[in-house]
Structure 1
């Protein structure tokens, strides 16, 4: 039997913009059959998503292609498959897409954070306007603005919200939770959080942010190391380009799920492609335990303000003063 040579790719970086993913069955000339989601039809090949990898099948090896249009129509939308976990969302069986398609799917949930001294990035995690960013982006700031980028028929429309409050923050984790507290902020788009514990070394990821103030910038790379320890914390090391202004932005996997929060890079002569992101697993712990990190404007360095304990010597001193001759009439 003639062996069919099939080329593999780790992510579908070649899906045509606007192409709808359709379930399909491909019968090869050697009698074998391959089933998956049809990502792209090229003149020389078909590109299928098998769930665990992306397969490119040469046209000259294909005998027949059957598309399941009914299954595509019955397939629920991303929004209906999402489930809420605490104040954030996750989505089971989320389909993988090319970067350009993922950008269309998730970019509205990525925001720019503006302060009096600089700017950073962030992302919305629910329709209530909760926004995640880095603590160092908003540390010590009194006025914070969030810029949301809406995709309209006429192009990108910017919405700036100045009524923003700090809900929780932690300097050790370098995470902060904000909330857009504006009545005008309605139907805010949000991203979904993924599982950073199951990402693989070499897996393709991409970031969206405002490096050097260049808003809505997309960069892509791979996971260099899934867990890199530094200062008692662990990070996702990635070749994705991260620069000042990217801080607090999301690191997405091929399914458009946030697997990390970009926060720093190694800089120096000859140093390139060594960026780091806080894993989504740590972010979820921070969000679920946000009360422990609740922000207090009177004491911005700690979540709660604790009163000093009452000294045990004080009651004795007061009692002695009452019994002294000077205190008696």
Structure 2
């Protein structure tokens, strides 16, 4: 309880030693761009992929005390789609201060703050509130805040008022303005550490990919960027073009379905999700989203069947049980909804509180 009552200055003092500047250099040793990052494990820092892209050498500068600079050995994991990179840093264990992560969904209006390095102003603090939360299939939740950001904030941790990281800041620009966005930490937790890669190796990945796949990937990334900003019409155009270039990628059809749900075109969305399931029958995400399309179309029995299949394929997916609870409420089966609550509680207590709130209405 003490942590929940800390003032913002106290919170900043506690978590600031875990935040770092990320400095990048080219082959000649000339500085490239800088960004931010934070420790998630001893000797491991997470940042945005675009911060290190094209670098030959990377360093971090700590913000504890007078601060020190340490070399980065390479990347343990990269996630191009989520714009994430997990870096291995050569530094003494006592200089690592991993931050606690939480997948709890913040409420709109909840106070948040971030620490980063805008315009090389190391350790700058900005605060605000959560202004919106939206979901991007196969990526995670996007948190929009009123906390000001600039390019040096890319990779900064976004904190709740308990000093827990709820997201990683990614600077997006639209109409010449920075949009204050962060990706929820679930994607960070799913980063799979592999063999250490040098930064030169990162730059040469996937060069053997065929031209149609390269073009499809570019269009797909454009769609993801539009989803970050909540531009569903623009995103759909990107994803449909990507599907024309490479129709065998199930994630593309999931995104098409998601955009069409947002447009109210539920029947079209159902067809898109079914196409995704033809390509990947064991996709819990596709089953869950197909259930959403049925739900919004008022076809609750079919929604329940899809949500059940999502839970069967991935029993630890909390959204399936939450959605099942809501669907059972729609058909008046409170007992079945309560049963889903009992299944959800040990997996995601915070999401279960939301389901129980619906049950009590």
TM-score higher than 0.5? yes
Distance 1:299 1:111 in 2: 21
Out of 69, 73, 79, the residue aligned to residue 170 of structure 1 is 79
Residues 1:118 and 2:27 aligned together: no
Query: By percentage of residues, which structure has more strand?
Result: 1
2:129 partner SS: strand
- Once the 2 structures are TM-superposed, how far is the Cα of residue 161 of structure 1 from its aligned partner? 0.8
Out of 148, 155, 166, the residue aligned to residue 248 of structure 1 is 155
Structure 2: runs of 5+ lacking an equivalent: 26-31, 210-361
Instruction: Please show how residues 126-145 of structure 1 align to structure 2 within 5 Å.
Output: 126-127=41-42, 129-145=43-59
Residues 1:187 and 2:94 aligned together: yes
1:95 partner SS: helix
Distance 1:194 1:186 in 2: 20
How has the CA–CA distance of structure 1 residues 294 and 161 changed in structure 2, closer, same or farther, with 3 Å as cutoff?
A: closer
Larger radius of gyration: 1
Query: By percentage of residues, which structure has more helix?
Result: 2
Residues 1:199 and 2:106 aligned together: yes
Structure 1: runs of 5+ lacking an equivalent: 1-35, 38-93, 152-156, 307-329
C-alpha contact 2:39 2:99 (8 A) present in aligned 1: no
Could you tell me which residue of structure 2 aligns to residue 290 of structure 1? 193
How has the CA–CA distance of structure 1 residues 192 and 167 changed in structure 2, closer, same or farther, with 3 Å as cutoff?
A: same
C-alpha contact 2:38 2:157 (8 A) present in aligned 1: yes
- Once the 2 structures are TM-superposed, how far is the Cα of residue 124 of structure 1 from its aligned partner? 1.1
Distance 2:160 2:206 in 1: 32
2:4 partner SS: coil
TM-score, structure 2 as length reference = 0.50
Out of 137, 145, 165, the residue aligned to residue 258 of structure 1 is 165
Instruction: Please show how residues 299-310 of structure 1 align to structure 2 within 5 Å.
Output: 300=203, 302=205
Distance 1:218 1:164 in 2: 28
Distance 2:122 2:70 in 1: 16
- Once the 2 structures are TM-superposed, how far is the Cα of residue 188 of structure 1 from its aligned partner? 1.9
- Once the 2 structures are TM-superposed, how far is the Cα of residue 285 of structure 1 from its aligned partner? 1.4
Out of 7, 12, 16, the residue aligned to residue 103 of structure 1 is 12
Could you tell me which residue of structure 2 aligns to residue 159 of structure 1? 68
- Once the 2 structures are TM-superposed, how far is the Cα of residue 197 of structure 1 from its aligned partner? 3.5
C-alpha contact 1:266 1:275 (8 A) present in aligned 2: no
Distance 1:303 1:280 in 2: 26
- Once the 2 structures are TM-superposed, how far is the Cα of residue 295 of structure 1 from its aligned partner? 3.6
- Larger RCO of the pair (alpha carbons < 8 Å, separation 6+): 1
C-alpha contact 2:59 2:70 (8 A) present in aligned 1: yes
Could you tell me which residue of structure 2 aligns to residue 318 of structure 1? none
Could you tell me which residue of structure 1 aligns to residue 312 of structure 2? none
- What CA RMSD, in Å, does the superposition of the two structures yield over aligned residues? 2.9
How has the CA–CA distance of structure 1 residues 191 and 223 changed in structure 2, closer, same or farther, with 3 Å as cutoff?
A: farther
Could you tell me which residue of structure 2 aligns to residue 208 of structure 1? 115
